[in-house]
Amino acid sequence: MEPLGSEETAPLDRELTSRTIRLTAAPDQRVTLATAETPRTFWAAPGEATVVGSGSATTIRADGRDRFQAVQDAARELFSVGDVHAGALAARPRLFGGFSFHDEHASAGPWGGYPRAKFVLPRTQLTYTDDGTWLTVNAVDTDAERVERRLDAEVERLRSISSPDAGRGPPGIVDRTRTTSEANWRRSVTAATDRIAAGELRKVVLAQALRVTLARPLLLSDTLSRLEERYPDCYRFLIEPDDGAGGFFGATPERLVGRHGRTVETGALAGTTGRGETPEEDEWLAAELLADEKNVHEHELVADAVRTQLEPYAASIRAGERAIRRLATVQHIETPITAELADDVHVLELVEALHPTPAVGGLPPKEALRTIRDTEPFERGWYAAPVGWFDAAGYGSFAVAIRSAVARDDTATLFAGVGIVADSDPDREWDEVQLKYRPILDALE
């Protein structure tokens, strides 16, 4: 694991100092994000505060196979000493970031600046809640007066920001390049179903990547604003590399895990169909999805695996009623799952236990991951991996980074995948992948 660091490596004998005040007025989230320092972070989730992070007070990175534990250990050391005045629970200092999908991820190509694990403690954190807006300044610095001066300066900067305009609109797409041809896709799906028939696999999730060239560089603040308009009940996120050249962003419907106190919330999201042209067609498609043997089987594989993965940590587990989750372009089968922890377990332990779920990996896990590595002609990077935040108490919220893209300059690479089971049809699965590109494509063109 690399040591803690911001522009320079932060010595571990220095304390975390954090100061928070409530703002009487603040620019909206899009303008705050557009004017933030790099690296920027953004997090918005159903039932949670929205947070815009500016700059880095310190960054935790980990590249070994023990990356989940390494991040947890470094964070425990960071939070163990310090002078933290949070002002409000929602405004407490938090580390934002994520992990690569595969343990052996290479930080190269579009994934330059994204190691196997990276979490940023923002230098400035603006937290939007139903009860108001909070400004937090964090520093790995024992000089509390300097932090107070920085807080005052940030208040003045926010006051000086002009009123928001309407934004520039989508950048537009001038070229598209697929990593997987339809012919190769059919061969890959057929090979996977043959392995399932032979008993080597029960399910595997295969993905595609689509590289698009934009008419002009991407304004991620505007892009996330457009995603908010169409996907307000999804987990919207941005994690930038240290140099701020682009970013990994998305609007994912899939929660991995959330922990507050001893309560853990997760779920199964698998099985997909499109949206209807009318409410009646919408209902018909939803009913067909819930009755479809292939999709229900795929969904139950995920739900059973999530419950099994939680059992070692839980005093009790309860699954809610299976239902339809409607998004702007697709409908999914969803089963919410809630657990009460038997002991005090850090959210990162739960993240490690649940990743990857069969909704983005497969079963058995090791064989599915091997199949993904052997089949996909691109690097997944952080796609379909855990992204989110955690705090000093070990509480946190993580989503599965699907419906996502990584951007740099005038290029963005989009990702989408589907679950392959015994009776999967290559052409139907191809069409489903194209449907899952739509959230990001619609925000770009």
The residues, any chain, with a CB within 8 Å of residue 3's CB and separated by 6 or more, are: 9, 10, 12
Asked whether 311 and 34 are in contact (CB, 8 A), the reply is no
Between the alpha carbon of residue 99 and those of residues 124, 279, 312, 387, the distances in Å are: 22, 39, 23, 7
Q: How many whole angstroms separate alpha carbon 129 and alpha carbon 131?
A: 5
Find, among 303, 317, 406, 409, the residue nearest to 357 by Cα: 303
Find, among 250, 4, 237, 9, the residue nearest to 119 by Cα: 4
pLDDT band of 11, cuts 50, 70, 90 = very low
Q: What pLDDT digit, counting tens, does each position of 120-156 carry?
A: 999 999 999 988 999 999 998 767 788 888 999 999 9
- pLDDT, mean of residues 276-285: 93
Q: How many whole angstroms separate alpha carbon 386 and alpha carbon 103?
A: 12
- pLDDT, mean of residues 95-110: 91
Q: How many whole angstroms separate alpha carbon 1 and alpha carbon 422?
A: 41
- pLDDT, mean of residues 335-346: 96
- pLDDT, mean of residues 384-394: 96
- DSSP secondary structure of 311-362: GGGEEEEEE---EEEE-SSEEEEEEEEEEEESS---HHHHHHHHSSPTTTSE
In the block, which residue shows the tokens 């799906």? 189
Read off the amino acid at residue 245: A
Counting Cα atoms < 13 Å in the Cβ hemisphere of 291 gives 6
The residues, any chain, with a CB within 8 Å of residue 33's CB and separated by 6 or more, are: 40, 42, 52, 220, 221, 224, 238
- The CB density around residue 154, as the number of other CB atoms within 10 Å, is 18
- The length of the chain is 445
- DSSP secondary structure of 11-76: PTTSPEEEEEEEES----HHHHHHTPPSSEEEEE-TTS-EEEEES-SEEEEE-STTHHHHHHHHHH
pLDDT band of 3, cuts 50, 70, 90 = very low
Q: What pLDDT digit, counting tens, does each position of 56-99 carry?
A: 999 999 988 899 999 999 999 998 866 665 556 778 899 999 99
- Is 60 exceeded by the pLDDT of residue 6? no
How high is the pLDDT of residue 9?
33
Q: Please list the residues that pair with 334 across neighbouring strands.
A: 269, 323
Q: Compute the C-alpha angle 423/306/422, nearest 5°.
A: 10
Number of helical H runs and strand E runs in the chain: 10, 24
Q: How many whole angstroms separate alpha carbon 197 and alpha carbon 210?
A: 30
175, exposed or middle or buried, with CB in 10 Å at 0-12, 13-18, 19+?
Answer: exposed
Long-range contacts from 68-73, C-beta under 8 angstroms, 24+ separation: 68/99, 68/117, 68/348, 68/349, 68/351, 68/352, 69/348, 69/352, 70/1, 70/117, 71/1, 71/117, 71/119, 71/348, 72/346, 72/348, 72/349, 73/1
240, exposed or middle or buried, with CB in 10 Å at 0-12, 13-18, 19+?
Answer: buried
- What pTM was estimated for this model as a whole? 0.93
Alpha-carbon dihedral sign for residues 352, 356, 362, 365 = negative
- Is 80 exceeded by the pLDDT of residue 7? no
Between the alpha carbon of residue 401 and those of residues 99, 108, 152, 425, the distances in Å are: 10, 19, 36, 25
- Residues labelled as active-site residues: 203, 254
How high is the pLDDT of residue 179?
92
Q: Please list the residues that pair with 68 across neighbouring strands.
A: none
What percent of the chain is modeled with pLDDT above 70? 93
Q: How many whole angstroms separate alpha carbon 253 and alpha carbon 249?
A: 13
pLDDT band of 349, cuts 50, 70, 90 = very high
- pLDDT, mean of residues 25-30: 89
435, exposed or middle or buried, with CB in 10 Å at 0-12, 13-18, 19+?
Answer: middle
Find, among 407, 356, 136, the residue nearest to 245 by Cα: 407
Q: What pLDDT digit, counting tens, does each position of 323-340 carry?
A: 999 998 899 999 999 999
What percent of the chain is modeled with pLDDT above 90? 79
